[in-house]
Amino acid sequence: MTHPFETFRYCPQCGSALFGHHDLRSNMCRQCGFLFYANCASAVAAVITDSEKRILLCTRAEEPQKGMLDLPGGFVEFDETAEEAVRRELHEELGIEVHDVCYLFSRPNRYTYSGYTVHTLDLFFRVTVDDLGDICCADDVKEARFFSANDIDFSMIGFDSMKTALRKVIDEGLI
């Protein structure tokens, strides 16, 4: 796993190689004084259940964690609320419209892509959908299926934050 500061060796403002460690969360350019903080990115995940209280899990079509199970969701875009991101991601990935979005909890995560690790804060939501019959997998989702809590193979869940979240949702009866 690569820390963000190990990836960026040149100042993003002036291009100087005098860009390096300042403190635990930042790098500073010793030429122009630019200070860069490594902050986490926001991501959302939706807990969707059917009438039998089975949980919708998706098979990832792309790396990272291609072929593994995941909750539907993704990164929050600039100038977008987390609730808007849930609605957009579910429309993009599954072609469904969301009726209600209810925040549950958050978990830290690490998302490594192209050799770069993004530290994320994953926000989990319980989501109500009007019509689950029209799920159409797209974007980075290969397949979507409902699982009863007892049938989830946690070794097939791709991200640690998702494993922890699913266990919490099931154990605490949040579905």
85-127 per-position pLDDT tens digit: 999 999 999 999 988 999 999 999 998 888 788 899 999 999 9
CA 16 to chain centre: 33
Same domain, 56 and 111: yes
Distance (Å, rounded) from C-alpha 44 to C-alpha 123? 5
Assess whether 156 and 119 both reside in one domain: yes
Q: How confident is the model at residue 3 (pLDDT cuts 50, 70, 90)?
A: low
| Region for residue 108 given its phi and psi (left: phi exceeds 0; alpha: psi -120 to 50; beta: otherwise) | beta
**What is the rounded average pLDDT of the residues 72-79?**
97
| 141 and 164 inside one domain | yes
**What does the alpha-carbon distance between residue 54 and residue 56 come to, in Å, rounded to a whole number?**
7
Q: For residues 91 and 85, what is the distance between their CA atoms, to the nearest angstrom?
A: 10
Q: Do 53 and 89 have their domain in common?
A: yes
pLDDT score for 170: 96
143 annotated active-site: yes
Say which of 6, 77, 97, 143 is annotated catalytic. Answer: 143
Average confidence (pLDDT) over 62-91: 97
Enclosing domain of residue 21: 4-37
| Region 135-159 average pLDDT | 95
The pLDDT of residue 103 is 98
pLDDT at 45 over 90: yes
pLDDT at 132: 80
For the chain, where are the alpha helices, taking DSSP H only?
A: 4-7, 82-94, 160-171
Q: What total number of domains does the chain contain?
A: 2
Q: Report the CATH number that the domain containing residue 73 is assigned in CATH.
A: 3.90.79.10
Q: Which two tokens stand for residue 35?
A: 């200070």
Is the pTM here over 0.85, yes or no?
yes
Say if residues 149 and 35 touch (Cβ distance below 8 Å): no
